[in-house]
Structure 1
Amino acid sequence: MASSTLWWSLLLLVVVCNGGGAFGKRILADDQQPGFDQNYVITWGGNHVSFLDQGREIQLSMDNSSGAGFSSKLVYGSGLFHLKIKLPNKDSAGVVTAFYLSSNSNNHDELDFEFLGNVEGMPISLQTNIFTNGQGNREQRIVLWFDPTADFHDYKILWNPYHVVFYVDEIPIRVFNNLTSNGVEYPSQAMNIIVSLWNGESWATNGGRTKINWADAPFTAQFQGFDVDGCAQGGSGAGSCASPGLWWNAGEYKELTPSQAAAYERVKNDYLTYDYCRDKARFPVLPPECSIKNT
Structure 2
Amino acid sequence: MQTSNGDVFEKSHDELDFEFLGNIRGKEWRVQTNVYGNGSTSRGREERYYLPFDPTADFHRYSILWTADNIIFYVDDTPIREVRRSEAMGGDYPSKPMSLYATIWDASNWATSGGRYKVNYKYAPFVTSFADLTLLGCRLDPIQQVPTTRSGCATAAAEIAATGLAVMTPEKRRAMRAFRRQYMSYSVCYDRVRYPAPFPECDIVETEKKRFGETGRLRFRRHRRRVRRGGRVPVVADSNRQPQM
Report the counterpart of residue 115 of structure 1 in structure 2. Answer: 20
Report the counterpart of residue 155 of structure 1 in structure 2. Answer: 62
SS in 2 for 1:129: strand
Aligned equivalent of 1:210, options 117, 127, 132: 117
Report the counterpart of residue 173 of structure 1 in structure 2. Answer: 80
Aligned equivalent of 2:170, options 235, 258, 274: 258
Contact 1:129 1:139 in 2 (8 A): yes
SS in 2 for 1:290: coil
Contact 1:160 1:249 in 2 (8 A): no
> 1:161 and 1:277 mapped to 2: Cα distance?
21
Superposed displacement of residue 117, structure 1: 1.9
Report the counterpart of residue 107 of structure 2 in structure 1. Answer: 200
> 1:190 and 1:125 mapped to 2: Cα distance?
28
Superposed displacement of residue 249, structure 1: 4.5
Aligned length: 194
SS in 1 for 2:103: strand
Higher strand share: 1
Superposed displacement of residue 243, structure 1: 4.8
> 1:117 and 1:126 mapped to 2: Cα distance?
9
Report the counterpart of residue 128 of structure 1 in structure 2. Answer: 33
Stretch of structure 1 that moved more, 243-252 or 253-262: 243-252
Report the counterpart of residue 8 of structure 1 in structure 2. Answer: none
Q: Which amino acid aligns with 2:25?
A: E
SS in 2 for 1:128: strand
Contact 1:158 1:165 in 2 (8 A): yes
SS in 2 for 1:135: coil
Report the counterpart of residue 277 of structure 1 in structure 2. Answer: 189
Superposed displacement of residue 270, structure 1: 0.8
Aligned equivalent of 1:145, options 52, 56, 59: 52
1:102 aligns with 2:4: yes
Superposed displacement of residue 228, structure 1: 2.2
SS in 1 for 2:109: coil
Superposed displacement of residue 146, structure 1: 1.2
Aligned equivalent of 1:191, options 91, 98, 105: 98
| Cα deviation digits, residues 90-129 of structure 1 (max 9, x gap) | xxxxxxxxx0100131211100000012110111210000
SS in 1 for 2:105: strand
Report the counterpart of residue 247 of structure 1 in structure 2. Answer: 159
> 2:34 and 2:40 mapped to 1: Cα distance?
10
Stretch of structure 1 that moved more, 111-120 or 282-291: 282-291
TM norm structure 2 = 0.71
Tell me, which stretches of 5 or more residues in structure 2 are unaligned? 206-245
Q: Which amino acid aligns with 1:263?
A: A
Aligned CA distance change for structure 1 residues 238 and 146 (closer, same or farther; 3 Å): farther
Tell me, which stretches of 5 or more residues in structure 1 are unaligned? 1-98
> 1:179 and 1:242 mapped to 2: Cα distance?
24
Identity %: 38
Larger RCO: Structure 1 or Structure 2 (Cα < 8 Å, ≥ 6 residues apart)?
A: 1
Superposed displacement of residue 164, structure 1: 0.8
